[in-house]
Amino acid sequence: MDRSDIQDEADFRSTTHVQGAASFSKFMTVLQIIADTPGTLDIAQLTKRAPFPRGTVYRLVSALIAEGLVIQSGESGTFRLGPRLLQLAAKAWEDSDLRSIARDFLVSLRDATDETVHLAVPSNNRMVYIDKLVGSNRVQMKTSIGAQVELHSTSVGKAWLSGLPDQRLVEVIKTLDLRRHTDKTFTTPESLLEELKRTREQGFAFDDEENEPDIRCLGSPIFNRFREPVGAVSVSMPVYRHDVRSHELCARLVRQTAQQISTELSRMV
């Protein structure tokens, strides 16, 4: 390869890099808008939010759907993150420091309760499960790593919210769609704030069939070395296996587990 060929290749790589970066930036912009407003915007609303011509937005969304990074509701026409993106994220979470640090503590919690244990982190006003361990009982929760759950109706969500400073907590709650899942779901900012006050006082959140019938969960927040909530751990069980004794046991153990993980996490530089 002579000098001119080398220069031509360098020019090509430089041009391709710039063009590719610009295209990638557009994809990421649209993807971020969808991630920030899952299940909320249809194509007309999305074109108003995105800083690109209508035709460009259509092409970007079509490509994202084709790659499984975005899905569109057949009923409302709104968009949310797709399964492929969640699968890619799950791969990253498998190697995450939090997941690695928490694993042994989660195993101990699972063994002590013989119930389903979850580790979750916040993502776009939701919680995402990054680890799950199940007990020996035949009846278990039908959840999976990578699944997203709402903040206001789950123990991991309420636990994480309870760890936020007051001002930040109010700001986050204002952005939430407090949808009713059962007749026990907290659907007003006032009732949710009162519940989170109790959560702070007792050191754990209690999901009393608020997200789905016949399931109860207890969760506690995990903090980094700056005392910022970075996730939550929970124990889940069907109602028929939940009583005063199991409640007290799980509450004590989930608090202890979250504290142990927080301590280990705070040692990281």
Residue at which a domain ends, from 81, 112, 133? 81
What's the pLDDT score for residue 183? 96
Residue at which a domain ends, from 34, 65, 81? 81
- Residue 39's domain is classified under what CATH number? 1.10.10.10
Write out the H or E segment, with its range, that includes residue 45: helix 43-49
What's the pLDDT score for residue 85? 76
Helix, strand and coil in the chain, % to nearest 5: 50, 15, 30
For residues 131 and 25, state if they share a domain: no
Token readout for 268 is 């990281």
For residues 90 and 74, state if they share a domain: no
d(CA 153, CA 212): 9
For residues 60 and 102, state if they share a domain: no
Q: Are strands 148-150 and 205-208 parallel, antiparallel or unpaired?
A: unpaired
What's the pLDDT score for residue 6? 47
For residues 169 and 262, state if they share a domain: yes
d(CA 213, CA 182): 7
Range of the domain at 13: 3-81
What's the pLDDT score for residue 17? 45
- Counting the structural domains of the chain, the total is 2
Token readout for 59 is 């092409």
d(CA 205, CA 76): 33
- Residue 233's domain is classified under what CATH number? 3.30.450.40
For residues 216 and 134, state if they share a domain: yes
For residues 189 and 241, state if they share a domain: yes
Classify 139 as helix, strand or coil.
coil
Contact 133, 120 (CB under 8 A): no
What's the pLDDT score for residue 24? 83
Q: What is the DSSP letter of 39?
A: T
For residues 249 and 182, state if they share a domain: yes
What's the pLDDT score for residue 31? 86
Q: How far is CA 254 from CA 70, 83, 149, in A?
A: 35, 30, 19
Residue at which a domain ends, from 29, 57, 81? 81
For residues 91 and 73, state if they share a domain: no
If you search the block for the tokens 């709650």, which residue do you land on? 173
Q: Write down the pTM of the prediction.
A: 0.68
Each residue's pLDDT, cut to its tens digit, for the chain (269 residues) gives 555 444 444 443 444 444 566 788 888 888 888 888 878 888 999 898 889 998 899 999 898 898 888 888 888 888 888 878 766 766 565 546 889 899 999 999 999 999 999 999 998 889 999 999 998 877 667 778 888 899 999 999 999 999 999 999 999 999 999 999 999 999 999 999 999 999 999 999 999 999 999 999 999 999 998 899 999 999 999 999 999 999 999 999 999 999 999 999 888 64
d(CA 111, CA 197): 30
For residues 138 and 26, state if they share a domain: no
Contact 159, 200 (CB under 8 A): no
For residues 105 and 54, state if they share a domain: no
For residues 191 and 220, state if they share a domain: yes
What's the pLDDT score for residue 8? 44
d(CA 220, CA 225): 16
Classify 183 as helix, strand or coil.
coil
For residues 52 and 15, state if they share a domain: yes
d(CA 228, CA 92): 21
